[in-house]
Amino acid sequence: MKLALRGANPPWSARSIESVGGRLFLATYRGVARAWAKAFSLLAGRAFAAFGARSVIQPPVRLEGEEWIAVGEGVFVGPGSWLQALEGGRVEIGDGTSISGSCVLSAFRSVRLGRKVLFARNVYVSDHSHRFDDPSRAVLDQGVDRIAAVDIGDGAWLGQNVVVGPGVRIGRGAVIGANAVVLDDVPDHCVAVGAPARVVRSLVADEVLA
């Protein structure tokens, strides 16, 4: 039995022409997307507190309080993200940081990402929480509480769907496993997993923690 291999087609068969056309279309699509992202970043970046060279925010993106958002050099923010600085709060994104997309950074006081931090998709970081102590009112109408600065150290990596709550410090080079909910500090060069997250390993000592 002979197998139909893609590479076995004659050089200019209909399939080959379709394949070339598809590759040309995707190359054009990628080029237009990159150009649009760079143009958007160049123009929108002027409204930020700071916006470093070679940084790109890829649309669509939701922005609020951009005058209190500082973006370093060589930063990438993927599509579908939301950067929010409320009532004078400050968001700071360090040089070389990469945010995959569909991520949220929301600051009432301060959310700081160090240099070369890596976010997978759907990471949520907030320095405040909604109040919900009054059962007679909708949570939406109760305002915020537990306002405390969040700091994520240089070189940290946060996996997909991670949530970081108010007052948390994630150390340099720390790794946060997917779907973790981080409510307490994570030391430098440690691995934390779970909901709520707990430290399970030190990368420096190469030690598994009980």
Tens of pLDDT along 147-188?
Answer: 999 999 999 999 999 999 999 999 999 999 999 999 999 999
Alpha carbons 86 and 169: distance in angstroms, whole number = 20
Active site residue: 23, 130, 137, 198, which one?
130
Reply yes or no on whether the pLDDT at 10 is more than 80: no
Evaluate if residue 73 carries a pLDDT over 70: yes
2 vs 195, higher pLDDT? 195
In a domain, 174, yes or no: yes
Task: Assess if residue 202 is contained within a domain.
Answer: yes
Residue 2 falls within a domain, yes or no?
no
What pLDDT, in 10s, does the model give residues 116-126?
999 999 999 99
Q: What is the pLDDT of residue 9?
A: 54
Give the span between the Cα atoms of 159 and 119, in whole angstroms: 6
Query: Around 185, how many Cα atoms within 13 Å sit in the side-chain half-sphere?
Result: 10
Neighbour-count burial for 8-43, b at 16+ CB within 10 Å, e otherwise? eeeeeeeeeeeeeeeeeeeeeeeeeeeeebeebbee
Upstream peptide bond of 196 is cis (omega within 30 degrees of 0): yes
pLDDT for position 15: 75
| Mean pLDDT of the 77-105 span | 96
Question: Average pLDDT, whole number, for the chain?
Answer: 92
Average pLDDT over residues 5-10: 54
Parent domain of 147: 10-208
Answer whether residue 1 is part of any domain.
no
Segment 51-64, tens digit of pLDDT? 999 999 999 999 99
Output the domain CATH number for residue 148. 2.160.10.10
In a domain, 154, yes or no: yes
Give domain status of residue 140, yes or no: yes
For residue range 12-35, list pLDDT tens digits in order. 677 787 788 888 988 999 999 999
Residue 4 belongs to a domain: no
pLDDT at 6 over 70: no
Residue 189 annotated to the active site: no
- Across the range 88-99, mean pLDDT stands at 96
Residues 125-136 have pLDDT tens digits of 999 999 999 999
Q: State residue 40 phi and psi, 5-degree precision.
A: -60, -45
If one counts the domains in the chain, the total is 1
Does residue 5 form part of some domain?
Answer: no
